[in-house]
Amino acid sequence: MNILSVFLIFFFSKLILDLLLDILNLKTIAKTNEIPGFLKAHLSEEDFSKTKRYTVSKEKFSIFQTVCQAIVLLAFIFSGCFGRIEVFLVQWGLPGYIEGIIFIYIVSFILSFLMFPFSVYFEFVIEKKYGFSNMTASMFILDLVKSTLIGIIISFPLLLALFWFVDSTGSLWWIFAFIFTMIFQIVLIILYPLVIAPIFNKFEKLEEGSLTERLFALASKLDFNISGIFKMDGSKRSKHSNAYFTGLGKTKRVVLFDTLLNLLKDNELEAVLAHEIGHYKKRHLIKGIILSLAVMFCGFFVISLLLHFEPLFLAFGFTGSSTYGIITLMMLYSSCFTFFLTPLFNLFSRKNEYEADRYAVLAVENKESLKDALLKLGKDNLSNPVPHPLYSFFHYSHPVLSERLKAIEKTSTF
């Protein structure tokens, strides 16, 4: 069995699984005619019907997008696209490193261009239809330009360094490259809330008032020092509500969407803040970074093994082995071989959410505030309350709402 045949077995296995999960989830929500018991006091028939329609719309869109993306990824291989781009770039006589970086950018641009209509449809048709999107065409294009430029600014020095490590540090290049990338990633985590996030959104410290005093009193009680609790103008793009913890060291901060502030009561926001503090106190961010670095370490090791295995490159249409070639293959096709790990990462993430929920309940000394906040968020975001178990197992980084509520109810506040 040749290399391409082995790849296609994994590729279609993942594709079939993805489609099967979407279909199972679609059928589950379609046949759920009654509001789940735990939601009957919080959700009207009209709201539940809207939630079902939104879920069905997203699942049908996901199925179509998954099939189209699979066709594009296969077309890259069978059209000889990779080899054609290589031949095209050779004619320009560019320095080797620059040629490799431009190759990766061209492939990324082609993929982004072909998938661009799907982003437009989801944002301006599905999200608009269900009252979530406040995005304008000019804002959408500006965001795309900004994210593209930031991606180039960040990736260019990283790729340049990786190419240099391969050529200049011998057989252990991958260890040096890993260490450099690890430091690079940590610096980005520190800089993100200060430099990158403000390019897209406006962040303001919460105004003085009873809510701010209450939240800072909670942070003080929990011995949590932060640079501030910030309000983000998420509503200028979407009506979805959220909160998150970001940054390291002195740059750590809690960010609350303005939509969240408008949705929840003070005691519910206090519970949400306690949940985010729980992630920090339980060292979930650090554990997540360590897990990410472990995966990255394994990735670099695999790249070191495949880098000079020329039959692999020829099977995918390259003219020969290259650093930019293996990076491209890993970028586009590695998920075909690692998709079975996704549930493990989700289990890790869901465990963290349960721990943060428990911490929040104990911190605010009641269960109802967090439960009410989660119920309002689920209703406001039209979250599917009855996903198929296999679908949530593979796709949900957070526990299903019913599972979270049961776990909170079991938490003793004494």
Query: Which residues are identified as catalytic?
Result: 276, 357
From 57, 56, 55, 69, select the one nearest 18 (Cα to Cα). Answer: 69
- Which tokens sit at 79? 């059209």
- Label residue 260 exposed, middle or buried (CB < 10 Å: 0-12, 13-18, 19+): buried
Burial 359-388 (b: 16+ CB within 10 A, else e): bbbbbbeebebbbbbbbbbbbbbbbbbbbb
- Distance, in Å, from the CA atom of 13 to the CA atom of 165, rounded to the nearest integer, reads 35
- Distance, in Å, from the CA atom of 180 to the CA atom of 58, rounded to the nearest integer, reads 39
Amino acid at 215: L
- Distances 193 to 182, 184, 251, 315 between C-alpha atoms, Å: 18, 15, 7, 42
- Distance, in Å, from the CA atom of 101 to the CA atom of 176, rounded to the nearest integer, reads 20
Could you tell me if residue 152 is left (phi over 0), alpha (psi between -120 and 50 degrees) or otherwise beta?
alpha
- Which tokens sit at 342? 């996704």
Q: Which residues are CB-neighbours of 290 under 8 A, at least 6 positions away?
A: none
- Distances 410 to 254, 276, 366, 370, 402 between C-alpha atoms, Å: 27, 20, 12, 13, 13
- Distance, in Å, from the CA atom of 17 to the CA atom of 226, rounded to the nearest integer, reads 43
- Which tokens sit at 373? 């906040």
From 249, 215, 219, select the one nearest 231 (Cα to Cα). Answer: 215
When computed from its CA atoms, the radius of gyration of the chain, rounded to whole angstroms, is 24
- Distance, in Å, from the CA atom of 411 to the CA atom of 414, rounded to the nearest integer, reads 9
From 19, 113, 120, 23, select the one nearest 72 (Cα to Cα). Answer: 113
